[in-house]
A and B are shown apart, each in its own frame.
Chain A
Amino acid sequence: MGRDKARRLSGSRHFRQRVVLATLTSTAITIDDIRSGGAAPGLRPHEVSLLHLLHKISDHHSLDLNETGKDARFLPRAYLWTKLRYKPGVIVGGRDLEHDCGVHRGIGYFLEPLILLGLFARAPISIRLKGITNDTKDPSVDTFRMVTLHMLKQFGVPLEGLELKIESRGAPPLGGGEVFLRVPNIKSTLKAANWADEGMVKRIRGVSFSTRVSPQIENRIIYAARGIFNRFIPDVHIFTDHRSGSAGGRSAGYGVSVVAETTTGCLLSADATVSYPNVDEMNEESENLELTSPEDLGVQVASMLLEEVAQGGVVDSAHQGLLFILCALSPPDVSKVRVGQLTPYAIETLRNIRDFLDVKFIIKPDPNSNTVTLKCVGAGVKNLARKTS
């Protein structure tokens, strides 16, 4: 047996992708120098939380966290883990799991890896995630529900088993939201996608939310957004979702996520949230900062969506990475997708895919529509965890 050495990586960037791809390809990884240079070295709480989540849904893996030599008295323990050794096991999945995502990052941060892992699990996953449902950094759960889940349809995952229920919402800094996610496990492989036709936008839908603020705010957002959309298309519906009481979480906030649906079923989304800043970046100046007004938010979101539409592609910029990973995981057929301008995140994803799955994409820009066509032959990752009957 060839002694398989762990893949050595360094730095904390693309932590999610690295961990997910390592798990899917069952390659052991070692990450060192996690923020070793900075003032606050080590893994962040949300990364540790992600590892905890991984621990919940998989089995027979091994996780080693090595501390630096810093004095433990001044820093909480999690901040000391600058070296991680991870040997993936089998993704088990399971029902009625629960995970507290913490208040450092939104639930969207955890949903993306979770959905990938869930597809390749032994049993379908149903999990309750608690934390911040909508924040500025991560895609909101609404976007996830309206766009990301539908993306999987292109890869042969039936929509029936996929579900995301928003039980209660929570905005930063205190969170308190709760979502219920169900992901089916695939039988053996995904299907290669041929998804290059972007089509034309035929309708715009959206959901606005407000927690612990006046429900009237939502109408103001919608009004502002419609003002812009109406110049393009009349079919615009943005639903309101006002939460109060326990379903409204522990902090005040409001936001909106809008989705443009094209004639070929592509979904382009944009979302924005206004709330008080996260626990990580709370400081004196953020104590009394001015929040964006609902009208500005509406205009802002509408502009963001139009920007996405102008960019073209079958998915918006936030979903490029996920799209590429799915393409690379599909069976050894040619997958072909078209996206707008490649985001830095997507480029890094492509590199990670090359490193872990040994899949390279043919990237062809299309000067006329200013889009990029990507083709790849998938790695044919199979769901090995699933039991044969």
Chain B
Amino acid sequence: MAPADGGGEQPHKAHRQHKSGAKARKKKGKGKGGGGDNDGGERKNPKAFAFQSAAKAKRLQARSAEIEQRRLHVPIMDRSIGEPPPFVVVVQGPPQVGKSLLIKCLVKHYTKQNLSEVRGPITVVSGKSRRVQFLECPNDINGMIDAAKIADLALLLIDGSYGFEMDTFEFLNIMQVHGFPKVMGVLTHLDKFKDVKKLRKTKQRLKHRFWAEIKEGAKLFYLSGLIHGKYTKREVHNLARFISVIKPIPLSWRMAHPYLLVDRFEDVTPPESVRLNRKCDRKITLYGYLRGCNMKRGTKVHITGAGDFSLSGVTSLADPCPLPSAAKKRGLRDKEKLFYAPMSGLGDLLYDTDAVYININPHLVQFSKTGENDASKKQGKGQDVGVTLVKTLQNPRYSLNEKLDQSFINLFGRKPAAQSEDISGNQNDQGDANILEEADGNNICNANTLESNDHSYSECSSDSEHDNDEATQQNDHEVGLREEVEFCNGRMRRKAVSANFKDDDDDEGAEEDDVDSENSGDDQLSEGSADDSEESLDSDDETENNSKWKESLLARTLSRRSANLMQLVYGQASKKLDEGNDSSAEESSDEEFFVPKGQKKQAKNESTSFDDMDAEDYSKFFKTELRDWSDEDLIKSIRDRFVTGNWSKAALRGQEINENDVDDEEVDGDFEDLETGEEVDNDTKKSKREETNGGGYFDKLKEEIEIRKQMNISELNDLDEDTRVEIEGFRTGSYIRLEVHGVPFELVEYFDPCHPILVGGIGLGEENTGYMQASLKRHRWHRKVLKTKDPIIVSIGWRRFQTTPVYAIEDRNGRHRMLKYTPEHMHCFAMFWGPLAPPKSGVLAVQHLSNSQVPFRITATGFVQEFNNTARIMKKIKLTGVPCKIFKKTALVKGMFTSDLEVARFEGAAIRTVSGIRGQVKKAAKIEPGDMARRKGESIDGIARCTFEDRILMSDIVFMRAWVNVEVPTYCNLVTTALQPQDETWQGMRTTAELRRAHNIPIPHNTDSVYKPIERKVRKFNPIEIPAKLQHLLPFKSKPKDTPKHRKTPVENRVPVLMQPSEKKTHAAIQQLRLLKHEKARKKKLQDEKKKKAYEAEKAKSELLTKKRQREERRVRYREEDKQKKRARR
């Protein structure tokens, strides 16, 4: 911004100032300011740039402060430690927009590998410290919702030649509800434009629309077109750079829940049980990078589209796609450009807890002994170690054991028999089923080999693609399914490890026992381990961990007592009691219980019943032996615990702890009994104090968070791996394997790698179901309002479920009034029943899951407000009744209540007649015997005595306004889309309207509710009859006259008017004159009308002409202007 170097770079034409004229004079009047600011004026005359007015200065300052404040966000603590998990890039767009192609191009860019098909997530090492996981978003709404929940970056692909499609906006809305990740638009199909100008205009238009949706300046990337069926290298490169600089946004929901995007899925049910019952519950394993927050073993998970499951095993595996070592260098070596996509059948190695699978492309290496042609291939490749190994296995001159001993790598364990069996089995498979091989080839043929462009290989791949195409064209459901199943189960793979895991484990356990018994001098430990090994048989994982933990405990030269304490507290349940006894026994033997006299029995009870299940619970501990504190020795022993004691000794007390506790962390040596954590604390406190002068509240918050994080790291640093996992769970970023039992077989049967499987951890209290109150707003673009109790599908947290909400709005008195339909442009409450999600989590509602029913599928959006079980939703009810007997101002009303009990409930309630007379319910009416006789046949129950402010009529209708509670249906149905074929739409509960449509039932129609024209009879009043007595007293004026009924007098009774002849004449003359006048006026009027019409016609004609002329003029003028503008632009 320095004004000095403004002129340096490009020679511009110098600005020539006006030397004369108004502007020049104006500038002169201002003073010398104008001349000075060209170069270095700011420095020479700082006053010249000071604010002239205080108000303006204030305004500007306020503005800048506001901008500054708007930039700030409440800092969120990022608790993840270590390598971050791969960055999920979801590629989303309407069908046929180029999603897969973009992924392929990006993968090609990163790894130089060609990908034939995009299935499932693809992990790629994209930089020295960065991995990217690409995920293609499926087009159905379920897939979109799931993808939006895991995306760190969403690439929205937009067909530039077509414009935006609803899918894009739907996806944006979904993301907004579930935490808005980073978004980048990508325009494709721009090569459809032939006209450059049109292209530019379209880009401009789409960009602005995109900005309007996200924010001003949101990135929209242009992919100009295809070259050889791929996007241009340069553009993909640029896009990759954009992706590489984007940082994920911390989203509160995801930060608080562990989750993983499953990139590998295996069915590990024993084949025998599947054979016996194909529909038996399966055991599956799910693999993926752990994201969000740390995951503990006991966490329950939700598998999207399938339901909630408890984990039966979590293991951390070696990272299949590790980041390169942190050596200092630029860029990535080719070797480090790893990628991992097991669902696409890519990635050479698959790790499991008990085995490593190596995928080898059968077209590159043929292991069955065909001989010659593969030899030629091999020559091209050079001998691979693995290949030779397998080859040599095929012509066994020696037994396998010997062979393995001879071979120079000893990757694997000692049980090769199983291996050979496996291989032969696989080969048999190959030989038997050609189809299978084809399918497998399709999956694996692109398997990652660095020297890829083999002739035969490409042929094969094309072949298999053809096959695949054919298969899809046939659209044979059966075949498709089989293919899938084969894909996940029968992939050609060679089990390289044959070590029987169980044996291994047992060995380990045995070792451990030895170690235990060797090391543990005291009885407790050995006892415990013995127990362990006995109990371990059922669960292998656990024992392993357990034993490891113990081993490490022993290995660590931690004080014996620590281990004891941990075990004492968390030991096996069987031991617990003994230990409890021991400890209490120790204590009781060591020290006498303090027992106040009255308490003796109670205390005794406690001492014996520490392990008793029915022990009383006291938080107070009556252990204390009362020593005589006047004893000098005793006093001396705690002398230094008081400020009156020796301070340096007291400080020593802490420091020794330091050395003991944390060995690896050197104390900075400054002072006192602070732990390392506090050390940091102190240091930063100083700096904080310094900064509080400069930085504000915000910096302080950040500082605190940083301190907290440092402390977390330092405190957990010195733990060994297993203890750490027990304490804090599996860390984010680690590749873990989840084992889930009891999964419905449909999940395996209909597994489709193109649909992302998201496994989300369920927090405390989120597995329960209950009523939730959400603030909901119908989406503007959804055509219809929503009806109360119509089922909608909501997505909250990880889950998607169908529920029937009741909509409500809060009245001014705090009452929740039911709404039959959602309001047009307002938020309303929606109360529904379902699995609870914490307040503030977003709610997304969809009515139909099918793709083509409605133009815009998002029905409503909102957020959970609270768990509300008490707030009653009320509905107005009007009870009506009619008077059956009227006294003065009291009436007996019937038909309003059905029983006397009901009347009693409403005593004192306000009522009203239609005519507006107010009243009150008093009591149930006592029916007199006479009445009863009169009302024979009718029910006499529920007649209420009511009083009114005025006498009511028998024709009045009395009504009472009351409020009745509306029950929210306890209906919730998880959307189990993963348990059905993906091309079927999930069918949940149908709305009443849909049911009526399906069963052809007309809408019920209450004839009473129909509006009819109101017919009012003219009221006939009887003449007033005044009693004779009264009449007599009235004055004459008011007396009814004895007037006969008014009737037109007949002609014969009328008085004739006889005129004089002169009168007759004048009368006739006047009549004639009047006639003349009228006639004249009539003619004049006609003429005028004619004239006016003519004038109007004339006027219209001329107007038309003028308009024409004006338009012509305008057109000329505009053309001129446009031309001028263009000229100016050039």
Contacts and interface: CB of A to CB of B under 8 A. Distances in A.
Interface in B513-572: 558-559, 561-562, 565-566, 568-570
A290 to B, nearest CB: 7
Interface stretch (B343-351, B673-681, B1036-1044): B673-681
A11 B615 CA distance: 8
A2 B300 contact: yes
Contact of A332 (B79, B568, B621): B79
Contact of B728 (A137, A303, A306, A377): A377
Given A89-B869, A322-B619, A377-B716, 13 more contacts: A25-B764, A37-B614, A281-B601, A292-B596, A303-B624, A319-B619, A332-B294, A332-B728, A334-B711, A344-B621, A365-B559, A375-B727, A380-B764
Given A90-B867, A344-B610, A362-B566, A318 B619 contact: yes
B630 interface: yes
Interface in A150-209: 192, 194, 196-197, 200-202
Given A138-B618, A384-B836, A388-B865, A11 B298 contact: no
27 contacts: A4-B767, A26-B768, A35-B614, A37-B614, A59-B870, A60-B870, A197-B678, A200-B643, A200-B645, A202-B643, A231-B629, A232-B635, A232-B644, A277-B598, A290-B597, A333-B77, A334-B711, A350-B570, A358-B298, A364-B558, A365-B559, A365-B561, A369-B654, A377-B727, A382-B763, A388-B864, A388-B866
A267 interface: no
B866 A122 contact: yes
Interface string B618-633: 1111011111111000
B559 A333 contact: no
Return the 10 tightest CB-CB contacts between A and B, nearest first. Answer: A11-B613, A60-B869, A26-B765, A387-B866, A13-B615, A2-B308, A343-B621, A334-B715, A368-B656, A377-B728
Contacts of B836: 384
A139 B619 contact: yes
B636 to A, nearest CB: 11
Given A194-B678, A334-B716, A281 B598 contact: yes
Contact of A381 (B618, B764, B867): B764
Nearest to B865: A388
A12 interface: yes
A16 interface: yes
B623 A317 contact: yes
Contacts of B435: none
Contacts of B677: 194, 334, 336
Contact of B626 (A59, A197, A303, A366): A303
Nearest to A227: B630
Contact of B644 (A16, A233, A303, A381): A233
A11 B869 contact: no
Nearest to A31: B613
B981 interface: no
Interface of B: 77, 79, 256, 293-294, 296-300, 307-310, 558-559, 561-562, 565-566, 568-570, 576, 580, 583-584, 587, 594, 596-599, 601-602, 610, 612-621, 623-630, 635, 637-645, 647, 650, 653-654, 656-657, 660-661, 673-675, 677-678, 681, 708, 711-712, 715-716, 719, 723, 726-729, 763-765, 767-771, 835-836, 838-840, 863-867, 869-870, 974
Contacts of A372: 565
Interface stretch (A124-132, A215-223, A307-315): A307-315
Contact of B867 (A33, A277, A286, A384): A384
Interface of A: 1-2, 4, 10-17, 24-26, 33-35, 37-38, 59-60, 89-90, 92, 108, 112, 122, 136-139, 192, 194, 196-197, 200-202, 228, 231-234, 263, 272, 274, 276-277, 281, 286, 289-292, 300, 302-304, 306-307, 309-310, 312, 317-319, 321-322, 332-334, 336, 342-345, 347, 350-351, 354, 357-358, 360-369, 372-373, 375-377, 379-382, 384-388
Contacts of B612: 11, 13
A25 B542 CA distance: 25
A332 B619 CA distance: 26
A100 B559 CA distance: 49
A13 B727 contact: no
B106 to A, nearest CB: 35
Nearest to A228: B629
A12 B638 contact: no
Contacts of B293: 332
Contacts of A376: 727
- Among A24, A347, A372, max chain B CB count under 10 A is at A347
A138 B583 CA distance: 23
Specify which of A1, A139, A373 lies most central, judged by the most chain B CB atoms within 10 Å of its CB.
A1
Nearest to A366: B657
Given A13-B617, A60-B770, A368 B867 contact: no
Nearest to B728: A377
